[in-house]
Every structure is written in C-alpha cells, then in structure tokens.
Structure 1
Amino acid sequence: MDKLKMHSPNLVDANIEKIAALFPNCITESKDENGELKKAVDFDLLKQELSQVLVEGEQERYRLDWVGKKEAILTANAPIAKTLRPYHEESVNFDKTENLFIEGDNLEALKLLQENYLGKVKMIYIDPPYNTGNDFIYKDDFAESTDEFLERSNQVDEDGNCLVANTDSNGRFHSDWLSMMYSRLKLSRNLLKDDGLIFISIGDDEVENLRKICDEIFGSHNFCAKLIWNTEGNTDNQYKIKVNHEYILVFYKDKKFDEYAIGHVIDPNTPQDSNLRKGYADNNINKNNPENPPSIVELPIGFPCSENELFYEAKKLDEEFYKITQEEKFISDEIKEKYGLESKSGLPVKLDNMVVKNGKLVQPCRIYVGMANKNKLLEFIKNDNKEILDNDSPLSFYINSNAAVRYRKKVEKPRNILSVIRGLGMNRTEFVGDFFI
C-alpha cells in the first residue's frame, strides 16, 4: 500500500526550484535548524538580475506595506504536518460524489488542497470578516501549542478554530486583518485554473486595502470588476446615511482567458421580453454627439423596413444648418427647434422623402446623422442590403415604424453582466472566513 503523506507540500522549496530554473547563479546553500544543507536564494543578487540599474540597498516603490507582511508570506509558504480525514458516516454517497466539503481552519485546508487541486479550480468565492471592529479574525501562529493559544486568545469558533477579537482599538487593527487575508489569497491563487475567477465579498472598511493586496497577489492587470451588491434591509429606521450595499471584488487568474472565465450570463433582473433573451441585439444607429459627427448616407432602393408601407416627408435645410452642425459636430436641440426637426434623438434627418412599399424603399433616401457604426452600414448597403458578418455574428440594418434606422445583430451566446447586483437579498452569513471552492 502507498504510504499516506502526513504533510502538505513545501511551497518554499517549490518556489526556489522555479527561481533556480531562471537564475541558477542566484541559488546558494545554507543550513537549516537541523544542520542539513538546503538551497537558498541570494536575494541581493536576484535583485540585481531583475534591475536595469545598480541596486544599492532598499529602494522605494509603490506598494502596500504593513507590520507582519513578511510573516504572512512565510505563513502561506510554510508546510503543515496535517492531512484530511474522510468522515464516511457523515457523508452522502461518499464513493461516487464529486463534491468535497471540508471542516476546519481555512488556511490549513487551503494548504492541504495545494497538492491535488493546484491549478484545477474554476471559481473561488470568499466571504471573509469585513473588519468592522466588531468581528473576529483568525490568528495564524503554528509555533504555539493549542493550549497556549487558547489561553492567550480565549476564543474559538464553532469548529474549535482559534479566533481573536479584532477591535478598532487594536494597534495592529488593519495589519492583523491584512496578514490573515494575504496568506489565504496567496494560496487561493495557486488553486485557480488559468481561466479561473475569484470572488471576494467585502464592506467599506477594507475594500481599498483588499483591492491593493489583490493587485499585488493576482496582478493589477488581472482585475475584472468591483461589483456593488445592493443588499436589502429595513429602510424605515433613520440613519445619517444608510449603507445598503457591499462589494464583491473579482479577479482573473489570467485575463488572457477572460472569454472562458466569465462565460455568458444574463442578469436575472433583465426583462423577460428583452432582445438579449431572444438571442439578438437591436439598437438605433444614431449617435448624436461630437465623437460621432453627422454625415450624409444614402439609403438605396430596396433598403428593408419593418413596416409594409411608410412615408416620411423630407426636411428643407439651408447651408447655415450644415455649417453649424459641422462646426459643433452634432445636432443640438436649438438647431432642431429652429429647423422644425424631430426632437427624438433617435431619428436621422431625412433629406429626401422616405417612401416604403412592400417592406422596402422604392426610391433612394439620403439621411443626415451621426453614427458609431457607419462603416458597417455602408458595408451592408454595398452587399445589396443583405446580411453581413460582424465578428462572425450576422448583422443587418432596417428602418422601423418611426422612420429610425436600426441594426439587428444575432448573438448566439448573449452576455449581460451588470456591475450592480440587485434582487438577491442580503448577506446573512454568520461564519468567520468562509472559503467556497
């Protein structure tokens, strides 16, 4: 029988091997506490290898520092002499289930998952203490015995895990919280697949600090979103300002795989009759702003219309109209009123009578409008008013019943993820430091 390993992998040794592969000249030998030779890193030489200028001692740089940061890194990398033990009597369908539920200190659990789940987890959700001054955090100190720790902290959670109160009178109020989070997030990143995502709930008290340590651990370029969770609650009570939202920070393991990481999700609050649920996007071409200055486009005979018959009379304009709108790069409300144009922003100016019969234009009609997708419209017209492709998706244009020009694009995998989450209740989690993987 294979012997059961009674400790998690030594991540320090693994990291040293990676550095050795890149910079073998930066690896030296040192003796551990038992007098055995171990590989070590010459950090001064490594700093020079990674710098284009002469390195002389500690350099200032943009980063977040706190008391205990180095210890947090050591804590994350240090192995533990523990293993996971199955509980058959408390399990359901133990031999065939594909689910795993772990009870215990989450830092220890994350360490024990490193060997079998390294780079295999698609999504991690973390609901840690928000560090409001009224909650507890884990105090990671594996050098102490359990009795010593309990005597000092006098706190355990419902699973017997060691906790300490983190009140705002604590001189290391933020530092203790940051150290707890740093080591756990560092281990969590190791578990994610290349197209994996991590979601972290947080409140106002530590959202900025959490963003900074996530930028450091995951890389600021791998930031995905800061979702705002609009929580429910009793709105009858009076507050100076009632805070009815929390945050969920989202980071990629590697943003290169964002298409596979996020997937195609439609916000549950999207109306059932939305075009997104029907598999296409349908929008007006009109973009009346200086970024999209108006120009003339001629809609040819045969241009499609959603109505069987339609007539819209042309507008009489002078040179002053074109001069002003070209200088301002949009059609202002004042100009619309002066020339008797429609106030609706979505309607282009018709320079010729728009006449539709049997669902198609029967004579050319020039329109004067600013649009963001003018080139696509011209491509559609050049293609004899037939469907074209836009990023492999079918795209067509048409005139609607209001005489506006619209485009319709088929979307096989619609996506509508909003940064504000509504209608999902409120956070009622009562555990300390929940890690759902």
Structure 2
Amino acid sequence: MTSPDVTEANINKLAELFPSVITETVDADGNPQRAVDFDLLRQELSDHIVEGPQERYRLDWPGKRAAAFAANAPIAKTLRPVREKSVDFDTTKNLFIEGDNLDALKLLQGSYLGKVKLIYIDPPYNTGRDFIYDDDFAESTASFLRRSGHTDDEGVRMVANSDTNGRYHSDWLSMMYPRLKLARNLLKDDGAIFISIDDHEIDNLRELCDEVFGAQNFVAQIIWQKVFSPKNSAKWFSEDHDYIVCYARDKSQWEPNPLPRTAEMDARYKNPDNDPRGPWASSDLAARNRYDAGLYPIETPSGRIIPGPPRGSYWRFSKDRFQELVNEGRIWWGNGPDSTPRLKRYLSEVSEGRTPQTFWSYSEVGHTQDAKKSLLKYVPFEYTENVLNSVKPVQLIQRILQLATNPDSSDIVLDFFSGSGTTPHAVMVQNSIDGGSRRYIGVQIQEPLDKPESAFDSILGMSLERLKNVATELSGELNSPDLGYRLVKIDSTNMTNVTREPDATDQLALEDLERSVKHDRTSEDVLFQVLLDWGLEFTMPIQKENANGFDIYNVEEGALMLCVRSRENSSPLSSAASEIADRKPLRVVFLDEDFADDAERINVEQIFREKSPTTEVKAL
C-alpha cells in the first residue's frame, strides 16, 4: 500500500549491528512497537559522548528534523503508465516520471536502489525569483512572503531590507535535504552526482552534501563559464559563471574518465629532426623538487659545458639515466649553440585522454545563449514568455556524461529536476555519437506555463515535445540510439483501502470492499503496481498475450507474469494458470477477484507446485 518505510529499514540495520539498543515503546494508540534506545546507541558508538547543548560542527536550520522525517516517511502512491503519451512504450529503456520529485525518489527506492551511475540536477537557485519547493507544493515568491509574514494581504512588505535577511535559506535546505538523502541511496558504489548551482546557495549546498554524501567523497567544485560577453548593465559585477559541485558515492571507487585529446593539444607535437618514433614535444629537464643526484655538469655535443641546472632547481634524472636518454636519442639539444637540453616526449607515448580540469570554458561546453537556441530549435514556442531562461546547454551535460558514464555499459542517468529535458536530450545525442547504450530517468512536476501553448501547456509537455523532435532528428543517424521513453505518472495507490474499524463496517459497505483494486484502474496500472511492489525496473520489456480468455502480461520473458480475467470471460482460472506454469516464470500474480472460490485458489497453487515449484505466486 505504501513505498518502503526507510525508518523501519534503518532500525533493522541497527538491530543487526547493535541488538542491545533495540527496545519497545507504544505509539499514540497504545500499540507496542520497536524503537531505538539512543542513550545505549551512543554508548555503543563512542567513549566520548557529544550530546545536549554542547557546541559541535554541523549544518543546522529551522525545519531540519522535519526534512529528515520527510525523507523517511512512506507514501501510499504508485506509478501509472501513460501509454498514449509515451514513445516506443513496450521496448524503450528510458523512463520519464510526471510528478513531485520527492515522491518519485521514494518510489524509485525499491527498483533502482544502488543502480544509478550518474545523477545530474539543476535545482532552483533560490534567487527570490524562482519557485520555492515544499514537500507538498510549489509556491511563488509572493505567496511565500505572505505565508511567512513578510508582507500583508495587500502585498506591502512588513520587514525592512528583507531581501538580505536569509529568509529563503531554511526552506531551500529543507527542500533539498530529503531529496539528496534519497538520491544517495540510488547511486551505485562507483556512481557520482553533479549539481548545478550559483552563488546564492553554493556554500549551503557544499555543507549539505558534506553531510549527506560525506566530506571525504567531495570530488570537485567546477566553474562553468556560462556567458561569452560581460553584462555591462550589472550594478556590481557581471556574473559570468555558475558552479557544478561533484560528489562520489564512494570516492575510493569512482574516478572520472579521461576526456578526449583535442586537435590543438596534438598540434603541439612536431618532428623537426625526422625522428623515426614520430612527432614529439620537448619539456624542461630541470625541476624545483630537491633531488641530490640531479646536481652534475652536462657537456653538449658542441663541447660546451653546462655546470649544472638553473639556480634553485635540480636535473630530473640522475647522471646515469641522463646518459641513457642521450644514447636513446631522447634529448633535444636545440638549434642554437647556447640552447639548454630538453627531454623529448613522443605523441605515441602520451595518454589517449586528458585529465579534466575544474574550469570549463563556454568554448568547450557551451553557454546560456547556446542553451536557449537549442531549446528554440526543438520546441516551437508561440509565446516568448514561455521560453525558459535557466536551461543548460546540451554540450555541458555531454561533458558530464563523458566523465561519469561509459558508452557500452547501459549506465542509468537520473535527473529529478528535469525541467526542459536537457539531460535526456544530451543522453540521446551522446549515445548517437559514441554508440552508447546509456539510459535516462527524468522527473518533472506538471508545472503550468505562463501562457498555454497549442501543443503543450506545462514544462513537462515542453520537455516531451523537445524529446520527440530530437528523436526525429537522430532517427536517421548511423548509431541511432534508444529514442523512446516510457511515461508514467505518480498517483494514489491502485489498491482499495479496505482498512475499517469493525463498528464502522455494515452489510451494505461490504460490496465496496470486494475488489482489491480500485474500479478506475486498468490491468496495466496493476502491472506497474506489481513492478513497484516487487522492486523490478519500470522499463522492462512488456508483451501482452491472451490465454483462455485471460490477459497475460509477460515482463522480461518470464521475469514476471500478470494474469487478469478479460471482460465477459467465465473460463476457470486454472486453465490459464496451467498454461502459465508450463512456461516456468520466476514470478506470477493473479487478482483475488478472478478466483471463483477457495477451491479454485487451492487448485491453482497445486498446479504451480507440480509444474513450476520455483515460481513465486501471489494474489492481489
């Protein structure tokens, strides 16, 4: 009925490590339940206790405890397929989720725990102009000011200089904290998260990520040069850059891929002496690091004596090793009589890639105008006010994909602030370039546009329109990637709520409790509920078949089979069950209402015991 209870799972882990700290208490209704004795847990963890009002190093803000609770609290929601708005629904490995990203992250916990290679997000920068997300809603700045008491009902400010009083930071941290905690669970041990941000919250984001991911897993704070010309209209400074913060799930297991070498780098290698080993570039023989064996005179081919390295430095090699390099022809003596010897480094010996740097120029990864041009190319806007100003260039996300994913490993890329769909766009383009098989999961709330367009009326609709047009362009490419997506939306659970107090249930109400599945839900809705409950990926291939008047949904060639009675079908369920059992699936699910009686249920169970004893059988 609900997503996994993270609190209960954490208590189970503690019980395995420290059984003595588990105790019992009672809930608000007086029912006994397990709990943790935190005094005993402190004793288990340290011989020096830090508690109470003692000062300590930590990030704190009003609402932090509530934010932590929001991350752990289960939800009674599910994912419902939207086949008519999907592309290649039955075969694609890409997933797009419509709904609040906090709910989405909770629903992904069972199926994608520890499976995501890369997370990239571009959350609200909290500038006072963007939306302030809460756990249950998104509100505008004006609405937030009224709710927080900074303006009256007529919109008049009630606090002087409120733009600088930090009123937004706590709400922003409370929004980000549970989402990052849940996102960490989804990362593979060798996975990483990249987060775009600007000066408004960069310091808070770093401290928040230190707490969630561990300070030891911080990798880099990258500077992205987002504009190609300064803003002369700026009052103080022209803001020419944003940041991208990178944390690894486990830094000891993650390292970035080398970037491809550029033509400019290779052009530095020449072959003026026709060396048979090919083009080379020279490097200084002297270094400042102390090396006592690197103090000796050198005689040049012309007979000139160089008494030693430049003052304050040392030759990089010992005298014997230097002579070996001379004999191997790896020393360049220069063209002039006063030249200093240099070491020849050959192009054939250098690494095929280059180490990534923490400054990313717009000339390599694009700028904001590139991002807007790309959006306008693939989305036919009718109204200028709907064009987003905060989109990122596709080249920027491609750079992150090159660093943090591999083309041949079906890596999963998650963006739970998907916005206009730049990350899915970049995944398709990069797969087209290098023949990769990366998959994406995008999450976007149904946020309305300022003015509805004829083709779409929300940011989500804009994103899907963009992906369809990108797919059309890439469909003719040689390395045509997976260009589809399976769209699902977050909704209330498919299961009927049958919990009732005895006194509140009468004879007339029993009919409403007969079905375990809500009347307005389809068989495919039930299938996705089963995928969710069993922790299976939501993009597994699905085939719909029919057996003796029953619809059979076959997921991943027998990983799961769902059997649902077709309309106007009175055939016994045992006939379909027997045919399914012959195929020996791993799991099979029936609907409770499809059994004629208890005898038929027992008969079906017996069929599987005899024909396919390893199949896990359930009834909803």
- Do they fold alike, i.e. is TM over 0.5? yes
Give me the whole-angstrom Cα distance separating, in 2, the residues matched to 1:234 and 1:227.
20
Q: State the partner residue of 2:6.
A: 11
Using the alignment, how far apart are the partners of 1:406 and 1:188 within structure 2? 49
Give the aligned partner of residue 247 of structure 1: 243
Question: Which residue of structure 1 lines up, in the alignment, with residue 417 of structure 2?
Answer: 434
Distance 1:281 1:22 in 2: 59
> Contact 1:198/1:252 (CA < 8 Å) preserved in 2?
yes
Could you tell me how far apart the structure 1 residues matched to 2:82 and 2:213 are?
34
| Other-structure match for 2:155 | none
Q: What is the distance in 2 between the residues matched to 1:292 and 1:267?
A: 32
Are the counterparts in 2 of residues 195 and 253 from structure 1 also a CA contact under 8 Å?
yes
CA distances 1:276-298 after superposition (whole Å, capped 9, x unpaired): xxx99955243443656793358
1:53 offset after TM fit, Å?
A: 2.6
Equivalent residue number for residue 73 of structure 1: 68
Distance 1:273 1:383 in 2: 24
Q: Distance in 1 between matches of 2:326 and 2:330?
A: 12
What is the Cα deviation at residue 246 of structure 1? 0.5
Distance 2:109 2:129 in 1: 32
Gaps of 5+ in 1: 1-5, 156-166, 301-309, 333-368, 387-395
Contact 1:130/1:202 (<8 A) preserved: yes
In the TM superposition, what is the alpha-carbon distance from 1:254 to its structure 2 partner? 0.3
Q: Residue 345 of structure 2 corresponds to which residue in structure 1? A: 408
What secondary structure, in the 3-state scheme, does the structure 1 residue paired with 2:267 have? coil
2:42 paired residue among 37, 47, 72: 47
Does the 8 A contact of 2:225 with 2:241 survive in 1? yes
Contact 1:267–1:416 (Cα < 8 Å) also in 2:
no
- Identify which of 317, 341, 348 aligns with 1:374: 317
Contact 1:269 1:422 in 2 (8 A): no
Matched, 1:121 2:116: yes
Does residue 239 of structure 2 align to residue 227 of structure 1?
A: no
Does 283-292 or 415-424 show the bigger shift?
283-292
Number of the residue aligned with 2:285: 286
Cα distance change on mapping 1:281 and 1:316 into 2, 3 Å? closer
Structure 2 gaps of 5+ residues are 145-161, 270-277, 372-388, 393-414, 424-440, 442-620
Q: 1:290 to 1:380 in 2, by over 3 A?
A: closer
Match status 1:265 vs 2:259: yes
- Mapping 1:393-404, distance limit 5 Å: 397-399=330-332, 401-402=334-335, 404=341
Taking structure 1 as reference, are residues 30 and 195 closer, same or farther at Cα in structure 2, changes over 3 Å only?
same
Answer with 168-177 or 119-128: which moved more.
Answer: 168-177
State the shift of 1:37 in Å: 3.0
Matches within 5 A, 1:238-387: 238-239=233-234, 240-259=236-255, 262-266=256-260, 271=265, 273=267, 284-289=283-288, 291=290, 295-296=294-295, 311-315=301-305, 331=311, 370-371=314-315, 373-374=316-317
Please point out which of 338, 361, 365 is paired with 1:422: 361
Query: Is the alpha carbon distance of 1:414 and 1:93 closer, same or farther for their aligned partners in structure 2, counting shifts above 3 Å?
Result: same
Shift of the alpha carbon at 1:312? Answer: 4.2
What is the rounded CA distance, in whole Å, between the counterparts of 1:196 and 1:269 in structure 2? 30
Aligned residues: 345
2:64 maps to a residue whose letter is K
Q: What are the Cα deviations for residues 241-292 of structure 1, in whole angstroms up to 9, with x where unaligned? A: 1111000000010011133xx12224779646366xxx99955243443656
**Is the Cα–Cα contact under 8 Å of residues 42 and 49 in structure 2 kept in the other structure?**
no
Equivalents in 2 of 1:242, 1:223: separation in Å? 28
CA distance in 1, matches of 2:16, 2:279: 50
Cα 1:382/1:23, change in 2 over 3 Å: farther
- Relative distance call for 1:397 and 1:22 in structure 2 (3 A) is farther
* Structure 1 residue 17: Cα displacement: 1.0
Aligned to 1:97: 92
The letter of the residue matching 2:179 is: R
Is contact 1:126-1:434 (8 Å) kept?
yes
Larger helix share, 1 or 2: 2
Equivalences for 1:132-211 in 2 at 5 Å? 132-141=127-136, 168=163, 172-211=167-206
Secondary structure of the residue aligned to 2:12 is: helix
Matched residue SS, 2:79: coil
Q: TM-score, normalised by structure 2?
A: 0.49
Task: Indicate the percent of aligned positions where both proteins have the same amino acid.
Answer: 45
